[in-house]
Amino acid sequence: MSGRLFDAPVLHGDVSSAARALLSVPQIDRERLCIRMIAEAELADAHVLRTGRLHPIYGNGSLMAVARNRSLPDEPDFDDVRYCQCFETVLRHLVRFQISQRHS
């Protein structure tokens, strides 16, 4: 890893796609799904760096790619409290992941 979260920057579209994926599952499953998507993106990112090829399941190593492997509802506005909670969940886990990577 390059010292960043992933080799490529994490952009708004990555967070938005992940939040939409979370929105499509029951609230009780969202934390676990978020952690899983970040792990899948990390796995794919490492695969791309190692082989120069897309991961056969998880794609290019972006959070957007792994989120889009799932059913995504249309993106709601930020006046949708559930979507805001999902967006916050993704951001919180990205921060935790980044902090844990610095301490590894």
What is the value of pTM for the model shown? 0.89
- Domain residues for the domain of 75 are 12-102
3 lies in some domain: no
1 assigned to some structural domain: no
Count of structural domains within the chain: 1
pLDDT tens, position by position, 16-46? 999 999 999 999 999 999 999 999 999 999 9
In this structure, is residue 46 part of a structural domain?
Answer: yes
8-state DSSP, 80 = -
Give a yes or no: residue 7 inside a domain.
no
**In a domain? residue 25:** yes
CA distances from 90 to 45, 61, 76, 86, 94 (A): 18, 16, 16, 6, 6
pLDDT at 3: 38
